[in-house]
Amino acid sequence: MKVKSLEIADVLLIEPTVYGDDRGFFFESFNQAQFSALVGQDLTFVQDNHSKSARGVLRGLHYQIKQPQGKLVRVVDGEVFDVAVDLRKASPTFGKWVGETLSADNKRQLWIPAGFAHGFLVLSESAQFLYKTTDFYSPENERAIIWNDPTLNIRWPIDTMPILSRKDAVAQAFPDAEVFAGSLDS
Ligand SMILES: Cc1cn([C@H]2C[C@H](O)[C@@H](COP(=O)(O)OP(=O)(O)O[C@H]3O[C@@H](C)C(=O)[C@@H](O)[C@H]3O)O2)c(=O)[nH]c1=O
């Protein structure tokens, strides 16, 4: 397994060791002991999510207040551009973003700790996206920042309008008082 720290130090790009043979391939997509050693704490994942989206779909930028979720994300079919935005008020990289291409081919995973907004854009014909979360889905605590916020200035690899959910199309700006009113730390 190879691990790379990104420009936001706590976001990790994980490249599992893949064992290929005549039958196909094998790799450990999650190993609790290795993961705990990697992040330096024992985190418990409580939910696994799986979504499928068509080319040009952009989901995000999502986060939860009061019940922030750490997310370990990967792609099992297709390719996406995955983005994490640092919303931790005390962080030196507050308001900064990192983006990585994750695909079924490169098998890369991104670890996005609690306190980040997360989103992804589908670059292939379709993509299936799998992720583990450290807290449960909490619709009342869910928030969204608009994907093309000018302050964040995320360089999405797209030159047309992405396909958005109704909720994401009317998401809030960054910074917005509501974003920071709730604590991301508890
Ligand atoms: C996220 C989620 C949604 N749902 C339901 C609510 C809704 O009816 C339907 C679709 O929900 P959404 O439109 O919010 O799904 P989606 O836009 O895929 O939301 C996800 O986006 C990515 C970027 C993330 O980071 C995730 O944490 C999550 O917010 O699924 C759950 O039951 N549990 C969940 O954990």
Q: What is the layout of strands, in order, in the sheet containing 2-5?
A: 2-5, 12-15, 109-112, 71-77, 126-133, 47-54
Residue nearest to atom 18 of ligand 1 (CA): 59
The secondary structure of residue 174, as a DSSP letter, is S
Three-state secondary-structure class, residue 121: strand
* CATH code for the domain in which residue 24 is found: 2.60.120.10
For 112-135, what is the mean pLDDT?
98
Looking at the domain assignment, is residue 126 inside a domain?
yes
For 116-131, what is the mean pLDDT?
98
For 41-55, what is the mean pLDDT?
97
The yes-or-no verdict on residue 186 having pLDDT over 50 is no
For 149-169, what is the mean pLDDT?
97
Tokens of 84: 């994490």
The yes-or-no verdict on residue 52 having pLDDT over 60 is yes
Tens digits of residue pLDDT in 83-111: 999 999 999 999 999 999 999 999 999 99
**Chain mean position to CA 19:** 26
Note down the domain range covering 80: 2-181
Q: How confident is the model at residue 9 (pLDDT cuts 50, 70, 90)?
A: confident
Which residues pair with residue 51 across a beta bridge? 129
Q: How far is CA 67 from CA 20, 53, 63, 139, 161, in A?
A: 39, 26, 9, 10, 31
Residue nearest to atom 33 of ligand 1 (CA): 137
150 close to 73: Cβ distance less than 8 angstroms: no
Q: How confident is the model at residue 71 (pLDDT cuts 50, 70, 90)?
A: very high
Q: How confident is the model at residue 175 (pLDDT cuts 50, 70, 90)?
A: confident
Give the chain's end-to-end CA distance (angstroms, integer). 31
Looking at the domain assignment, is residue 36 inside a domain?
yes
Looking at the domain assignment, is residue 186 inside a domain?
no
Instruction: Give the per-residue pLDDT at 141.
Output: 96
Tokens of 36: 């705990």
The yes-or-no verdict on residue 127 having pLDDT over 60 is yes
Instruction: Give the per-residue pLDDT at 139.
Output: 98
The yes-or-no verdict on residue 177 having pLDDT over 70 is no
ipTM summary value: 0.99
Looking at the domain assignment, is residue 98 inside a domain?
yes
Ligand 1, pocket-test mutation among 85, 137, 147, most atoms within 8 A of CB? 137
Instruction: Give the ligand 1 atom nearest the CA of 142.
Output: 29
CA of residue 24 to ligand 1 center, whole Å: 32
For 111-135, what is the mean pLDDT?
98
Q: In the chain, how many domains are there?
A: 1
Collect all residues with Cβ–Cβ distance below 8 Å to 136 and sequence separation of at least 6. Answer: 46, 47, 67
Q: What is the rounded CA–CA span in Å between residue 153 and residue 91?
A: 18
